[in-house]
Structure 1
Amino acid sequence: MVYLKLETFHLERFQSKWEHIVNYNLAESGVQPFKLEELLGDREKIEIMNRFLGYVQTNGSNSLRANISELYQDACEENVLVTNGSSEANFLVAWSLLEKGDEALVMLPNYMQIWGLAKMMGGTPVPLWLRENEGWRIDLEEIKEKVSHKTKLIALCNPNNPTGAIFDQATLRGVCEIAEDFGSWVLCDEVYRGAELEGNKTPSVWGIYERAITSSGLSKAYGLPGLRIGWIMAQEDVINRLWSYHDYTTICTSAMSDYVANLALEAENRERILSRTRRILARNWPILERWFDNHSEIFRYTKPKAGAVSFARYNLDINSTLIAEKLAREKSVLIVPGDHFLMDGYVRIGYGSNVELLEKSLVLVGEFFKSLQGK
């Protein structure tokens, strides 16, 4: 990879500009973050205060990687590389695989990192559009039509951001079988796995195919974005190769983050954390659902199956970024415009915050959209 022509990551720049100055942030796609004191018992508080602020093992401490591997069937710590957030995980995979002239088939709508990285590496991103009228379904036939020997990578997001759709084991297997026919890699961003509104945990692409790579982290389903802990799950030889790329980027995570992440992923704590996430989603989704139904003359939506986000179409002929910026300025509420997912005419609304903030925010958003409708 030698191309490296960077384009603006509009979603991240937009959120960074506004999220710390508005009164109400509905742009966040995770649940209400933990406070550190909620995670640490008396013994851990003493221990963390007496830890040296040195480097940790660059691929992640043995105990943290072992705890991460417990999330996946038939995995071990040698299958894990710890990164600074799932964003670094995705970057390392794209950097290691994509070269000038390659194609990357990218599920859309989606977090646009891989789309931008493919261009940065001199490749071509090819859209794989989810079928909204079929509950945001993957169309395997479209993949078969678009895949070729130029396809180095097929990039998925399961559960999906921004739609909240979940793709089952059969669908993932179908994608991997198509990829195998062409020797393509499959990268599945699974950072929302564990944040299901109901039912079983979302299936992982791990273990389906030798060239399947999983990225994930603690930012979304675990409510721990400030730790900046992510990881890559892959075959051991792939992990060793990606580790060498990690040496050229962030080298390692912080010692405090490694320690707290390891604590959070111990079995008992992990279940407590994910149970909290599911309680928040179960409590908050009906609030947003009622709000949508009370504004059905403006919005159309599909109920998400996972993640603290909903992706809704609005029936106004106004650019979504203009709407989001105007809402932030006039009502001090932040939402994400759909054109940041290449789908203008939509907005992403997060509902993982505390109830009071969510309800107050939605009142303001409702007033704002009704004022636009009247013009």
Structure 2
Amino acid sequence: MELVLPEHIKFGQSLTAPVDINLSDSCAQGVALNTLVELAGEAWFERELSYSPMAGSDMLRAAIKAYHLQPQVVLSQEQIVTFSGAQEAIFTVMAQLLSPQDEVLVFTPSYPSLAKLPTQFDAVVKSIPLQANNQWQFDIERLKREANAKTKLIIINAPHNPTGATLSDKDVEEIKRLAQHFDAYILSDEVSAQRADDARIASGRFADYAKSITLGVLSKSLGLPGVRVGWAICGNKALADLLLAGKSYLSICGSQVDDMLASTALNHSDIILKENAKIMARNEAAMCEFVRQHSHKVSWVAPQGGVLSLLQIHSVKDAKSWSRQFAEATSTLLLPANLFVMNSECHFRLGIGKQSFIEGLTRLESYLQ
């Protein structure tokens, strides 16, 4: 297997100009290290820096369960496996579940690993495109038509990267029934999901399906990509053991430092999410006004959940070239959507989670004039 650096990473690395604002950032604002250490209290200084348990500490997995799952979900902590970010979890799922010629269903556009990594294991990827004229909503009927006896894995990502689309409870139940009918696995990427009691989006709704893997991470809603902790919540213990076996060939275990920081952040997530919600609301209002004033130049569908959405700039004909020129002229990054498995030369991924968003939007406004 020969792995190739993803296009969106290569694009960012190839920019010659320094970038100080990322308008495509997929993360919320987050907090500083000293805040988390203060919240952790004396326990921070008493932690022994030995190897962590492979699946993550009991404290961390309990915090993940409380944060990510709805109260009515009955699930053992033994069904939760932690990883060094969500990317390691995605790789492990693909490596452990997929065999040559297995069929994988995925909605596009998409985070590249979800749509492209299965081919590294000789699986067949069948894409189901989301449509702008349908407000980027998931086409569950098309998903049903594409599924068959060869379907091994159905990949769901909601809130969706990069459109911000979400799933209704009815959608979730139909997907679970479809997977059960064909005895397929479900990989539910929920890295941008808020807490279960957040009105914006419910999380963990696939966890009661035995062949499900639900992904979460600290980097998105909590804005802590520097704490390298992601997780997989498995529908049964045997599936969790399978992922642990795969992890044993990769990071083996996370660091004690990250384990402590992650546990602290999750146990105090209300504080972080409350502040992030204020930033997102302010930025979304600013974006709505921007679109109102420049409707002849841009189109935009606000995210239903998470921080990501797609911005269409009507005059652009070559998204990569335009993005490069924009970055060099303004020190601002706006990633073209064709880096996210989308056939478009005028769409760009937009993230509304950062304090710097309005300054970046001001730069964009000046550049478009």
TM-score, structure 2 as length reference: 0.92
Percent identity of equivalent pairs? 27
Distance in 1 between the 2:281 and 2:17 partners? 27
Q: Measure how far apart 1:293 and its partner are.
A: 2.0
1:29 aligns with 2:26: yes
Q: Which residue is 2:239 aligned to? A: 238
Q: Which residue is 2:338 aligned to? A: 339
Distance in 2 between the 1:222 and 1:42 partners? 15
Counterpart AA for 1:56: S
Distance in 1 between the 2:238 and 2:51 partners? 24
Q: Which runs of 5+ in 2 are unaligned?
A: none
Map Cα deviations across residues 251-302 of structure 1 (whole Å, 9 max, x no partner): 1111110011111122xx1221222222221122111221122221121111
1:261 aligns with 2:258: no
Q: Which residue is 2:65 aligned to? A: 69
> After the TM superposition, which of the residue ranges 226-235 and 105-114 deviates more from structure 2?
105-114
Counterpart AA for 2:360: S
Contact persistence 1:7–1:116 (CA under 8 A): no
Q: Measure how far apart 1:105 and its partner are.
A: 0.7
Q: Measure how far apart 1:16 and its partner are.
A: 4.5
Distance in 1 between the 2:321 and 2:96 partners? 37
Q: Which residue is 2:318 aligned to? A: 319
SS of structure 2 residue aligned to 1:104: strand
Q: Which residue is 2:192 aligned to? A: 192
Q: Which residue is 1:39 aligned to? A: 36
1:273 aligns with 2:272: yes
Q: Map of 1:118-137 to 2, 5 A cutoff?
A: 118-137=118-137
Contact persistence 2:61–2:77 (CA under 8 A): yes
Contact persistence 2:105–2:151 (CA under 8 A): yes
Q: Which residue is 2:298 aligned to? A: 299
Change (3 A) 1:16 1:28: farther
Q: Map of 1:101-140 to 2, 5 A cutoff?
A: 101-140=101-140
Change (3 A) 1:100 1:27: same
Contact persistence 1:335–1:350 (CA under 8 A): no
SS of structure 1 residue aligned to 2:251: coil
SS of structure 2 residue aligned to 1:152: strand
Contact persistence 1:66–1:76 (CA under 8 A): no
Q: Which residue is 1:97 aligned to? A: 97
Residue 5 of structure 1 is aligned with which of 2, 7, 27? 2
TM-score, structure 1 as length reference: 0.90
Q: Which residue is 1:373 aligned to? A: none
Residue 11 of structure 2 is aligned with which of 11, 14, 22? 14
Q: Which residue is 1:207 aligned to? A: 207
Distance in 1 between the 2:331 and 2:200 partners? 37
Counterpart AA for 1:39: L
Contact persistence 1:162–1:310 (CA under 8 A): yes
Highest relative contact order (Cα 8 Å, sep 6+), 1 or 2? 2
Map Cα deviations across residues 45-98 of structure 1 (whole Å, 9 max, x no partner): x54345443321111011111111223122221110000111111111111111
Q: Which residue is 2:153 aligned to? A: 153
- Number of positions where the alignment pairs a residue of Structure 1 with one of Structure 2: 361
Distance in 2 between the 1:59 and 1:19 partners? 40
Q: Map of 1:154-193 to 2, 5 A cutoff?
A: 154-193=154-193
- Aligned Cα RMSD in Å? 2.1
Change (3 A) 1:314 1:61: same
Q: Measure how far apart 1:43 and its partner are.
A: 6.5
Distance in 2 between the 1:120 and 1:238 partners? 21
Counterpart AA for 1:58: M
